[in-house]
């Protein structure tokens, strides 16, 4: 199976870049790891990505394991909330060559993911 389902498509990134919302954005990441070490592989990605993220003015707001599910359909293993200065910065960071290089760990670790851009309330 292709790893395309784990990354925003060029069309999705273009729409994000064209958004009228220019302020901070928080990306909600719902994460389902592959069995047999997926979380460890994803951890390698997250540690390397955090350095790149911080260098571009972003930061991890929250990382946590999912515990009891109380409602809803799909099961997730973890959630990450990642803040970026803007949608443009997000689109820039995720297309950097160094992020593509470490993407092998993300792809090795994730079975599936959902990614939402969230506008924080000020």
Task: Give φ, ψ of 21 to 5 degrees.
Answer: -80, 115
* Confidence (pLDDT) at 3: 64
Residues 84-101: what's their mean pLDDT? 96
Q: Provide the 3-class DSSP secondary structure of residue 67.
A: coil
Q: What is the pTM of this model?
A: 0.90
Decide: 113 and 6 in contact? Cβ < 8 Å.
Answer: yes
Least Cα distance to 51 among 12, 96, 9, 13 occurs for: 96
pLDDT score of 1: 43
Average predicted confidence (pLDDT) for the chain: 92
pLDDT at position 5 is 79
Domains of the chain, start order: 3-118 (3.30.70.100)
Which tens digit of pLDDT belongs to each residue from 23-50?
999 999 999 999 999 999 999 999 999 9
């Amino acid at each position: 199976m292709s790893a395309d389902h784990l990354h925003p498509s060029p069309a999705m990134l273009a729409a994000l870049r064209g958004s009228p919302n220019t302020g901070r954005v928080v990306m909600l990441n719902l994460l389902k790891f592959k069995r047999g070490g997926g979380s460890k592989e994803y951890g390698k990605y997250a540690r390397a990505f955090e350095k790149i993220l911080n260098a571009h003015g972003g930061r991890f707001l929250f990382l946590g394991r999912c515990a009891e599910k109380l409602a809803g359909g799909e099961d997730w293993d973890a959630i990450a909330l990642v803040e970026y200065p803007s949608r443009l910065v997000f689109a820039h960071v995720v297309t950097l060559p160094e992020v593509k290089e470490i993407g092998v760990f993300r792809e090795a670790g994730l079975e599936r993911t959902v990614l939402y851009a969230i506008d924080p309330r000020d």
